[in-house]
Structure formats: structure tokens, C-alpha cells
Structure 1
């Protein structure tokens, strides 16, 4: 006879993922035991296994939920329509906002993906590729000068993701720059550079400004 779910099943399930992500982020997936997980979630081992078959199942659920949330919110941002630049700005805002509220999940995604089995890793990589392709498509549509060609397509896209995906290492979303402003700065920097026009050209030898 199948076990029935308690009324608060979904809340406990989400709580396990949230606390497990914090634990994995703090001390690493491999150094986190089932006992550590049970303590962090304030559950017995038996109760923990009621929700997940293994530690790896928890890791997969964390990463799957995180990536799918980003994709769903990015798709919703694009569905709002508007000019390509507006869509691009909204997509970057969305990614930054999700990462800002989920720094533990983002850290675990970047550092612990390799601990999943091959099929699970492939599922995650397929989802990541879906997100990357969406952003690449927007960049190509914005590229009026034809800078993005087959040889450089991945380079441009991953430079952009490099700017926004590693913020968990240093960025405080509760500081002076909120996620939306941070995203807008990233968009401006990526599309227009830091020193526009002649200012970006090196000064002739002997005429460099003092810093």
C-alpha cells in the first residue's frame, strides 16, 4: 500500500532542498553526510529517506529545481515582448535576481554538478544549454555589426555568463547595488564597454594619463 503524503509534504520537501543547498554550499557535497543533512533539516534519517532515496537524489533535485526556475523566469521575461534590447535586459535582470536570491544553489551548481551520475549530469547540461542558447539568440539579434560568428559565438555568450554567474563569490544583493541595478550595469558594460569611443584607445607613448 502506497504511503499517503502529509498536508505539509511540499513544504518539508522544499525545506530539505533549501537547507541541503546551504549545507553543500558551506562544506561541499562530498564532505556532507546523511547525518549532517538530517541535522541541518531537523529530521531523522528515516524521515529524510521518506522524501529522497539518497544524498545524490537531493543534489539532483536542488540543481534541477534551480535551473528550471531560471529557465521558466527567463521564458516569462521574453514572453513579455518588446524590442530585443528590452528582452535582453529583462533576461539578464531575471538571471541576476534568481542567482542573488539563490547563492547556495548557484555555488552547488558550479562546484558539485560532477558528483551526479552521467545521465543526471547530461540532464543538467541539456537544461543549461537551453538557457545558454536563449541568451545567445538574443545576443545575435542585437549584433548589428556582425561581430558574433560561428567561431566566436560561444566566447561572447560565456563571457557574459562569466560576469553574472559567479556573483555568489563576492556580491551582496543587500548592499548598495541591488540585483536589478547590478544587471543593468552588466548589460551596459557588456554591450557598450567601459570607456566608449576614443577613450578606449591606448594613449600614445609618453602621453599616458597618471593614475
Structure 2
């Protein structure tokens, strides 16, 4: 007979994912044990197995939820039908905001992507490609100079994403520059150039 879920099942599960993300980001997925996870979650191994079948399933949950949340939020922005530059700015702000709030999750995504099983990696990879397409399309909408040719469209999108996806290495979300400030700075430099008169 299956165990019934407690009313706070979801909150506890999310707490495990958050604690595990911080631990994986600090220690690495491969060298983290179930005992390490239990200690980080102030739990027991048995209690962890009530919510997840394995360490690998926890990793899947961390990366999967991080990427799916980003994709859902970006799709919501698309539904607002903003004018082109406002749309691009909103997309970059949202990605930067999610990366700043979920710093550990972003580190785990970038560092432990190769630890996912093939099926999960394929599913998350498909979602990531959709995110890249959203950024590429947002750039295309403001591309009055017609730089977004088939040859260069993806490289422009990846260049912009690279400016915000790797901020975990140095950016302090509690510092004087807010995630929105930094996102706007990236967009301004990307669209206008560092030496523009308005820069």
C-alpha cells in the first residue's frame, strides 16, 4: 500500500531540491553522497527516499525545474506582445533574474549537465533549444541592420546568453548592481556598443 502524501509534501520536496542544489554547486554532484544530502537537508536517508528514488532523480529535478521555469516565464513574456526592444529587455531581465535567484541551480546546470541520463538530457536539451530560439527571435525583432542571417543568428543569441548565464562566477545579486540593472546594461551594450554616445 502506497504511503499517502502529507499536506506539505510539495514544500518539503522543493526544500530538498534547493538544499541539494546548494550542495551540488559547492561540492559537485559526483562527489556528493546520499549521507551528505541527508545532512544538508536535516533529514535521514530514509526520509529522502520518500521524496526521491535516487541522487540522480534529485539532479534531474534541480535542472529540469530550473530550465522549465525559465521556459514558461519566457513564453509568458511572449504573450504580452511588447514592442521589440521592450520585449528583448524583458527576456534578458527575466533570464538574469532567474539565474540570480537560482544561482546554485544555474551552477549545477552548467557543471553537471553531463551527469543526466540520456532521456532526461534529451528532454532538457529540447527545452534549452527553445530558450535559445526565444532569444534569437527577440534579437531578430530588433535587427534593423539585418545581422541575424541564418549563418550568424544562433551565434548572436549565444553571445547574448553567455553574458548572463555565466554571471554565477562573479555576480553578487545582493550587491549595488541589481539583476535588472545588469540585464539592462547587457542589452544596452549589445545593441548600442560600449563606445556609443549614450553608453
TM range (shorter): over 0.9
Residue 104 (structure 1) shift:
0.1
Note the alpha carbon deviations across 1:126-179, whole angstroms, 9 max, x for none.
010011111111111211111111111111111001100001100011111101
* Structure 1 stretches of at least 4 aligned residues deviating more than 2 Å after TM superposition: none
Q: Measure the CA separation in 1 of the matches of 2:148 and 2:87.
A: 18
Normalising by the residue count of structure 2, what TM-score does the alignment of the two structures yield? 0.96
Cα deviation, residue 3, structure 1: 1.3
Per-residue deviation at 1:196?
2.4
2:159 paired residue number: 159
- Point out where structure 1 has 5 or more consecutive residues left out of the alignment: 198-211
Matches within 5 A, 1:31-42: 31-42=31-42
- 1:80-95 equivalence runs, <5 A: 80-95=80-95
Taking the aligned partners of 2:196 and 2:116, their CA distance within structure 1 comes to: 44
Determine the structure 2 residue equivalent to 1:20.
20
More moved, 76-85 vs 66-75: 76-85
- Shift in Å at residue 42 of structure 1? 1.0
Gaps of 5+ in 2: none
Deviation at 1:80, TM superposition (A): 2.0
Q: Give the structure with higher Rg (CA).
A: 1
* Partner in structure 2 of residue 176 of structure 1: 176
1:116 aligns with 2:152: no
Q: What is the aligned partner in structure 1 of residue 7 from structure 2?
A: 7
Greater alpha carbon shift after TM alignment, 56-65 vs 147-156? 147-156
Q: Partners in 2 of 1:13 and 1:179 — Cα distance?
A: 27
- Distance, in Å, in 2 between the alignment partners of 1:82 and 1:45 is 48
